[in-house]
Amino acid sequence: MLLFIAISFALLVSLLGFTITGTKALHTYRVDRTLRYGTDAALEVAVQMVKANPAMAQSSPVTPSGTVPPCAVQLPLDEATVPGASQVMVSGSYLTVTCEPTSGVAASGGPDIDSTASVPTQAARDVTFVVTCGAPGTDRAQGDRYECMDGPDVQELGRARVRFDIDPGFATPSERAIVPKILTWTLYE
The SS3 of residue 158 is strand
pTM comes to: 0.76
Q: How many domains does the chain have?
A: 1
Under DSSP, the state recorded for 175 is G
Q: What is the pLDDT of residues 115-131, one digit of tens each?
A: 666 666 777 888 999 99
In the chain, the percentage of residues whose pLDDT exceeds 70 is 78
pLDDT at 142 over 50: no
Q: How many CB atoms lie within 10 A of CB 17?
A: 10
What are the residues whose beta carbons fall under 8 Å from the beta carbon of 16, sequence distance 6 or more? none
Domain of residue 100, residue span: 2-187
Residue 130: closest CA among 150, 156, 112, 111: 156
Split at pLDDT 50, 70, 90, the class of 141 is very low
Per-residue confidence (pLDDT) for residue 19, from 0 to 100: 75
Q: Tens digits of per-residue pLDDT, 143-174?
A: 567 778 777 778 899 999 999 888 888 767 77
